[in-house]
Structure 1
Amino acid sequence: MADHPSDFLPPEDDPAYRVFIDSLSYLPPEEVQIVRKAYLFSEEAHRGQLRLSGEPYITHPLAVAGAIAEWQMDVEGVVAALLHDVMEDTSVGKGEIAERFGKPVADLVDGLSKLDKIEFQSQEDAQAENFRKMLMAMASDLRVVLIKLADRHHNLQTMAAVRVEKRRRIARETLEIYAPIANRLGLNKLFSELQDLSFQLIYPMRARVLGRALNAARGNRRELLSRILAGIKGKLRAANIDAQVFGREKSLYSIYRKMLDKRLSFSQVLDVYGFRVVVNDVPTTYLALGALHALYKPVPGKFKDYIAIAKPNGYQSLHTTLIGPHGTPFELQIRTEAMDNVAQEGIASHWLYKDSESFGADLQKKTTNWFHSLLDLQNATGNSSEFIEHVKVDLFPHEIYVFTPKGKIIPLPRGATVVDLAYAVHTDIGNQAVMGRVNFNMVPLATELTNGDRVEIVTAADAHPLAEWLNHVKTGRARSKIRHYLKTAQDDESTALGEKMLGQELRALGVAASEVPVSRWKSVLRDSGNKLIKEVYTDIGLGFRLAGVVARRLLTLDDSSPTAGTPASSLVIRGSEGMAVQFAPCCQPIPGDPIIGSIWKGKGLVIHTHDCPAIRKARSAKPTKWIDVEWEPERDRLFSVRVQVVVQNTLGALGRIATEISSSGTNIVNVNMDDRQPGLYTTLNFTVQVADRTSLARLMRSLRRIPEVVRIARAQGLPA
Structure 2
Amino acid sequence: LGMGKIRSELEDLSFKNLHPQEYKNLSKEIEKRRPQLEAYLKKITATIKEKLDENEVPFVEIQSRLKRLYSLWKKLKKRGLKIDDVYDLIAVRIITTDQKRNCYLALSVIHDIWTPVPERFKDWIGNPRDNLYQSLHTSVIGEGGQAFEVQIRTQEMHYVAEEGVAAHWRYKDNKLGEEHDQSVDVLRKTVEKLLLPLVETTEANEDSEDFIESLKLDLYPKDVYTFTPMGKIVELPRGATVIDFAYAIHSEVGDSCTGAKINGRIVPLRTKIQNGNVVEILTTKNSKPSRDWLNHVVTSRARSRIRQWIAKQQRLDSIEMGRKLLGKEAKKFGLSSKKIVGDVDELTRAANEYGLARGEDLLASIGYGKTLPRNALGKILGPERFDKLDPEKKEDSRLETGMKAVKKFIGLGEDAIVVKGVDNLLTTRARCCNPLRGEEIIGYISLGKGIVVHNKRCTNVKHLMVNKDRIVDVEWAKNDQKQIQSVRLFVTTEDRTGMLAGITNAISEIKTNIRDARARVSNRDEGLIEVTVEVFDKKHLDKVISSVKNVSGIINVERVNSPKQL
TM-score (norm 1): 0.29
TM-score (norm 2): 0.36
Give the strand-richer structure, 1 or 2: 2
